[in-house]
Amino acid sequence: MTNIFKFEFQSRLKSLAVWSLSITALIVVFFSFYPVFADQAAIMDQLLANFPEELRVAFGMGGVPLNTVMGFYSFIFLFVQLCLAIQAGNAGFGLVSIEESELTADFLLTRPVSRIKILFSKLLAVSAIFILTSLVVWVSSFGAIGLFRAGNEFQPGTLAVLLSSILLFQFFFLSIGLFISLIVKRVRSVTPYSLGLGFGMYVLNAFGGVLGDVKLELITPFKHFDAGYIIQNDAMNWALVIINFSVALLALILSIYLYLRRDIQAVS
């Protein structure tokens, strides 16, 4: 079992490096604009007040004023979440389907290990990758804020609550991706699926309110782990977190069921 974990972990290191660098760059570069924002707070607020409410919500500029450290950070965090969603979606959609599309499933599944062990080793490897990704986001977030907050105060405790939501957030995209990959006939390429799921969920959250009374946004993790809410309340929205976790867990359990019964088709 450890050999599969090791193999899976190593083969994901390159992608981890790319995501880590991209997300770090995103956080640091974006946040380096904060001092300018904070200086011109009055002008900015006036400017933003002219935008329609829905547009401001869509870009994560809803509740919290942008000239505070946490407000500005929550605006960036939305894009960090989008990256994390795509990364987790990639991992989920590709977890087992990649063995089939690259035709290595025959090799792996004819080794003397059960499918459940294969699946758990892979999930464990992905979890390790997610934990490392999370760590990178923690370090670069605290780092960027430390460097560029220009003397303005911020709430490290609140930031910690926000950042600890990352793992749950990614777990959702991982298991939903895995589940979808097991109900479609064949996943030829992972990226279109993970981009679709990531942006789809983002759009649901951003424009769900525009649609009126239909509570579509309740199914998206971008709503479940809305940075604005967490910062304003200094806590997660536990009701939504429970919905999120239950859906993800259900998808995972169904995925295990489907994978154990799956026919691995011959290469043709």
Partner 1 sequence: MNIIEVNHLTKYYGKARGIVDVSFSEEEGEIFGFIGPNGAGKSTTIRLLLSLIHPTSGDARVFGKDVRKHGPEIRQSIGYLPSEVYYYEGMKVIDLLKYSASFYEGDFKDRMKRLSDIMELDLNRRISDLSYGNKKKVGIVQGLLHRPELLLLDEPTSGLDPLMQRKFFDLIREENANGVTVFFSSHILSEVQRLCNRVAIIKEGQIVEVSNIRTLQQNNYKKISMTGENLTPGLFDLPGITNLQRENGSLNFFYNGDINLILHKLNQVPLMDINIEEPTLEEIFMHYYE
Per CB under 8 A, residues contacting partner 1 are 3, 7, 11, 102-107, 109-114, 117, 261, 263-267
Of 142, 138, 154, nearest in space to 69 by CA = 154
User: Which CB sits closer to partner 1, 82 or 264?
Assistant: 264
- Cα–Cα distances (Å) from 247 to 74, 126, 237, in that order, read 25, 19, 16
Q: Is 74 within 8 Å of 60 (Cβ atoms)?
A: yes
Nearer to partner 1 among residue 101 and residue 152 (C-beta)? 101
* CB closer to partner 1 out of 11 and 233: 11
Shortest CB 216 distance to partner 1, Å: 34
Classify residue 143 as exposed, middle or buried by CB count within 10 Å of its CB (0-12, 13-18, 19+): middle
Assigned token pair, 121? 């080793």
* Separation of alpha carbons 95 and 266, rounded Å: 19
Number of Cβ within a 10 Å radius of residue 83? 17
**Are the C-beta atoms of 22 and 83 separated by less than 8 Å?**
yes
Scan for tokens 């001092």, then name that residue: 35
Distances (CA, A) of 134 to 16, 124, 143, 157, 182: 11, 15, 14, 16, 27
153 contacts: CB under 8 Å, gap ≥ 6: 69
Total H helices, total E strands in the chain: 12, 0
Token readout for 205 is: 């959250």
Question: Smallest distance from the beta carbon of 261 to partner 1, in angstroms?
Answer: 7
Q: Confirm if 221 and 85 have CB atoms less than 8 A apart.
A: yes
Which of helix, strand or coil describes residue 172? helix
